[in-house]
């Protein structure tokens, strides 16, 4: 009876009113759930096509997320008795499942709108509900007005609203609805990558004697200051001669926006840098209809860079490339079919991975955007998804971004540092998802000896969304204490989650694209490279009968720092400032951290001993 009454109430809120004595007025009131100012750089182009369909996603509150977070930190803390005792998929889903009242309330509302169970797609944990509907219906049920918006600089178009509402009775049962206020641009040029340059345009590598890396003390061939290969990284990070052999290990790369990893190019790369891997390949997994175009003309620079170095370093660990159907640019002036193409593909991949029974144990993602282009509610919910994977034993690496402390534009002449909230304040611009505290953010270095990569390159700084996690307290507080008093006051959030956590080489990588060799760079090179070494560390643990590393950061900041090379020079300039400087460790007994390179670059020879010393 209660459920039937609730259904009548919700239906009345949408389509008419019953006598006031039958239903209290508050039950029928719509209230704004989220409202944003039109983001800087976007202008209204016109009304959204009414018959165009979107996949509207409703996030229900995850009733026991606090308990999940507690589990995550316990199983990720090398000093805790539960270290490495990761949760199963089913255990995680039980913790994030919505409260039955929330599920009933939202189900009743959808039923009042005429939706049947066949019309609804539910996540494995029941915490996301998706319906595919015309924009006209979305406008009706959300009391919203969708428009076509144009990004002035790029010319891209998307369909979004700047405000939506829900019946007041639903506010506590729905955390957010998307696509609505999400204006992020996960475009190839925003995937934290510098342009690819044909190799013949560069001078031939030097044949001089080896040089010594001051950070780790290992000998590295001098040619690595001109061209980075797998051999260079093995030398620099002290992994020469190590061959993984444990069963059950795996490594993954994410691909978006029709960036295809070409298998013929991979063979050229293996022939050049990893001949023992010739004729091996990787599994391609399509997410939501993602394509796998193997034409050399369609080979993606980002995708090829990622798979060639991550899989080349970790060979023969089982590799997977995820090709996720993207959000092709909306073209408002064409008579396109009324199909769905307006969702953010990143959460499509995340939903898929959370439902996957056996995700790869180490995954790298080289895509990101300015944190401020992502609604806080969306960022929180995506970050909670990363926590779920971490609790299951998955290590997630993300590029920290390019462009220093600015907006990702590597050109200082066009870089901006203006807030996107309508106030137009000058601020450093952190990146997302790198700012999520449940992932490992990877910054960039260059040259040998290593320095923080060149000006306007490696992203870093402090989140405006997420507070500093406890595992960073000691090190980041000490770093901030060494900054000149008042430096950049008001330009960054000193209490925010600091990024990056670690770094790796990120420039002059030799990659094969479309049958030709290129040199390429960006923190999208450092993330897959670091991930390759994480996969090797997982091999060490699995071979010893131990669990995979999972969420890395508590280990890195407590014990793992001893296996990281301290980077003491360089900076990440931007916003008309020198940005943050790399700095020498302030206490030999503690980790050193900088808002440019994090804790430093990997020394695999030491790390493989440290990961065995943990439970």
CA distances from 177 to 126, 163, 343, 383, 486 (A): 15, 11, 11, 16, 40
> How many percent of the chain have pLDDT more than 90?
61
pLDDT digits (tens, 9 = 90+) for 516-526: 999 998 888 99
- Of 472, 595, 480, 498, the closest CA to residue 73 belongs to 472
**Same domain assignment for residues 475 and 447:** yes
Q: Do residue 107 and residue 163 come from a single domain?
A: yes
Q: pLDDT class for 39, splitting at 50, 70, 90?
A: confident
Q: What is the mean pLDDT of the chain?
A: 84
Please determine, for residue 11, whether its predicted confidence score (pLDDT) is greater than 60.
no
Closest CA to 602 of 550, 555, 557, 566: 566
420-461 pLDDT tens trace: 655 665 577 888 999 999 999 999 898 898 887 654 455 678
Residue 164 sits in the same domain as residue 200: no
Dihedral angle of Cα 474, 478, 481, 487, to the nearest 10 degrees: -100
- Going by DSSP bridges, is the β-strand pair 197-198/516-520 parallel, antiparallel, or unpaired? antiparallel
SS3 191: coil
* CATH number of the domain within which 201 lies: 3.40.50.200
Q: Where are the alpha helices (DSSP H) in 55-134?
A: 65-76, 89-96, 100-112
DSSP state, 149? E
Q: Of 25-34, 371-380, 543-552, give the range with the top mean pLDDT.
A: 543-552
Owner of token pair 């971490």: 390
User: Distance from CA of residue 40 to its chain's centroid?
Assistant: 23
Domain for residue 90, yes or no?
no
Reply yes or no on whether the pLDDT at 474 is more than 60. yes
CA distance 92 to 71: 10
What lies within 8 Å, CB to CB, of 146 at 6+ separation is 47, 48, 135, 138, 139, 159, 160, 161
> Is the distance from CB of 282 to CB of 261 less than 8 angstroms?
yes
Verify whether residue 302 is a known catalytic residue.
yes
Residue 86 lies in a domain: no
Q: Inform me whether the pLDDT recorded for 332 exceeds 80.
A: no
DSSP 3-state of 102:
helix
pLDDT at 166: 97
| Domain final residue, candidates 149, 183, 217 | 183
> 54-78: per-residue pLDDT in tens?
999 999 999 999 999 999 999 999 9
Judge whether residue 209 has pLDDT over 60.
yes
pLDDT (0 to 100) of residue 585:
37
> What is the residue range of 145's domain?
2-62+97-183
122 and 246: one domain?
Answer: no
Q: Report the distance separating Cα 312 and Cα 278, nearest Å.
A: 10
Tell me the per-residue pLDDT of 210-267, one tens digit each, with 9 for 90 and over.
787 767 788 899 999 999 999 999 999 999 999 999 899 999 999 998 899 999 999 9
Confidence (pLDDT) at 9: 46
- The count of domains in the chain is 2
Which pLDDT value is given to residue 479? Answer: 85
Retrieve residue 391's tokens.
């609790």
Residue 379: name the closest of 391, 388, 370 by CA: 370
Please identify which of the residues 524, 527, 529, 583 carries the catalytic annotation.
524
Distance in angstroms (rounded) separating the CA atoms of residues 322 and 575: 35
Contact 434, 368 (CB under 8 A): yes
Out of 167, 183, 199, a domain closes at: 183
Residue 331: which pLDDT band, with cuts at 50, 70 and 90? low
Active-site residue among 77, 108, 175, 306? Answer: 306
Q: DSSP of 437-501, one letter per residue?
A: TTSEEEEEEETTTTEEPPTTTB--EEEEEEEPPGGGHHHHHHHHHHSPTTTTTTTS-TTEEEE-S
Residues 154 and 267 in one domain: no
- Asked, for residue 88, whether it belongs to a domain, the answer is no
Whether residue 164 is predicted with pLDDT greater than 70 in this model: the reply is yes
Instruction: Give the length of the chain.
Output: 615
- Which domain-ending residue is among 129, 158, 183? 183
For the whole model, what pTM was predicted?
0.90
Same domain, 150 and 218: no
Q: Are residues 346 and 267 in the same domain?
A: yes
Same-domain check for residues 217 and 351: yes
Distance, CA of 580 to CA of 406 (rounded, Å): 12
pLDDT above 70 for 577: no
Beta strands 395-399 and 362-365 are parallel
Residue 444 lies in a domain: yes
| Mean pLDDT along residues 367-376 | 86
Residue 76 lies in a domain: no
Is residue 492 one of the residues assigned to a domain?
yes
Considering the domain architecture, whether residues 460 and 588 belong to the same structural domain is answered as: yes
**Residues 490 and 348 both lie in one domain:** yes
* pLDDT(550) > 70: yes
> Please, which pLDDT band fits residue 480 given cuts at 50, 70 and 90?
confident
Q: Of 108, 302, 407, 507, which is the active-site residue?
A: 302
pLDDT of residue 153: 82
The fraction of the chain above a pLDDT of 70, given in percent, is: 79
- Which is more confident, 596 or 368? 368
524 is catalytic: yes
For every residue of 528-587, DSSP letters joined together read: HHHHHHHHHHHHHHHHTTPPP--S-HHHHHHTGGGGEEPP-S-B--BTTB--PBP---S-
Cα gap 301→24, rounded to integer Å: 59
Task: Please check whether residues 137 and 195 belong to one and the same domain.
Answer: no
pLDDT in tens, 165-178: 999 999 999 999 99
In the block, residue with structure tokens 């509150």: 61
Element (DSSP H or E) covering residue 505: strand 502-505
CB 530 within 8 A of CB 442: yes
72, part of any domain: no
What local confidence, expressed as pLDDT, does residue 38 receive?
Answer: 84
The one-character DSSP state at 9 is H
Residues 116 and 57 in one domain: yes
């Amino acid at each position: 009876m209660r459920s039937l009454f609730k259904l009548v109430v919700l239906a009345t809120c949408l389509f008419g009113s019953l006598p006031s004595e039958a239903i209290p007025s508050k039950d029928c009131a719509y209230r704004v759930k989220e409202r944003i100012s039109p983001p800087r750089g976007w202008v209204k182009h016109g009304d959204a096509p009414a018959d165009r369909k979107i996949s509207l996603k409703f996030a229900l509150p995850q009733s026991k997320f606090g308990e999940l977070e507690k589990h995550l930190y316990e199983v990720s803390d090398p000093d805790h008795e539960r270290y490495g005792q990761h949760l199963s998929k089913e255990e995680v889903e039980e913790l994030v499942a919505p409260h039955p009242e929330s599920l009933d309330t939202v189900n009743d509302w959808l039923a009042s709108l005429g939706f049947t169970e066949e019309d609804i797609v539910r996540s494995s944990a029941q915490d996301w509900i998706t319906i595919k509907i015309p924009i006209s219906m979305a406008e009706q049920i959300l009391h919203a007005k969708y428009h076509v918006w144009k990004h002035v600089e790029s010319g891209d178009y998307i369909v979004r609203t700047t405000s939506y509402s829900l019946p007041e009775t639903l506010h506590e049962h729905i955390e957010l609805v998307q696509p609505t206020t999400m204006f992020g641009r996960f475009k190839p040029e925003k995937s934290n990558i510098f342009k690819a340059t044909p190799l013949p345009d560069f001078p031939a590598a030097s044949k001089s004697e080896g040089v010594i890396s001051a950070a780790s003390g290992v000998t590295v061939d001098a040619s690595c200051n001109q061209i980075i290969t797998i051999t260079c990284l093995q030398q620099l990070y002290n992994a020469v001669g190590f061959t993984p052999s444990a069963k059950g290990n795996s490594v993954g790369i994410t691909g978006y926006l029709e960036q295809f990893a070409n298998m013929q190019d991979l063979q050229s790369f293996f022939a050049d840098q990893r001949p023992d891997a010739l004729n091996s390949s990787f599994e391609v997994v399509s997410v939501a209809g993602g394509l796998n175009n193997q034409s050399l003309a369609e080979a993606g620079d980002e995708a090829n860079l990622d798979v060639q170095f991550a899989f080349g370093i970790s060979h023969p660990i089982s590799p997977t490339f995820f090709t996720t159907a993207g959000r092709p640019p909306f073209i408002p002036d064409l008579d396109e079919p009324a199909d769905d193409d307006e969702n953010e593909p990143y959460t499509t991949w995340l939903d898929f991975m959370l439902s996957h029974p056996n995700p790869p144990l180490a995954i790298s993602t080289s895509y990101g955007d300015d944190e401020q282009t992502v609604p806080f509610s969306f960022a929180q919910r995506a970050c909670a998804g990363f926590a779920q994977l971490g609790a299951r034993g998955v290590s997630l690496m993300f590029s920290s971004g390019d462009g220093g402390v600015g907006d990702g534009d590597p050109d200082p002449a066009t870089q901006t540092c203006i807030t996107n909230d309508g106030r137009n304040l000058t601020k450093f611009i952190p990146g997302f998802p790198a700012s999520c505290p449940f992932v490992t953010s990877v910054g960039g270095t260059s040259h040998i000896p290593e320095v923080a990569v060149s000006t306007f390159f490696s992203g870093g700084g402090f989140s405006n969304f997420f507070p500093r996690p406890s595992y960073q307290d000691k090190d980041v507080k000490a770093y901030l204490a060494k900054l000149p008093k008042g430096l950049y006051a008001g330009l960054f959030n000193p209490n925010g989650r600091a990024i990056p956590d670690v770094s790796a080489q990120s420039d002059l990588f030799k990659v094969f694209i479309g049958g030709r060799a290129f040199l390429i760079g960006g923190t999208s090179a450092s993330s897959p490279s670091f991930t390759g070494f994480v996969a090797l560390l997982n091999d060490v643990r699995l071979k010893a009968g131990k669990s995979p590393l999972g969420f890395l950061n508590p280990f890195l900041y407590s014990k793992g720092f001893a296996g990281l090379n301290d980077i003491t020079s360089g900076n990440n300039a931007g916003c008309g400032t020198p940005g943050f400087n790399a700095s020498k460790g302030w206490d030999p007994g503690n980790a050193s951290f900088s808002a440019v390179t994090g804790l430093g670059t990997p020394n695999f020879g030491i790390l493989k001993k440290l990961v065995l010393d943990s439970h």
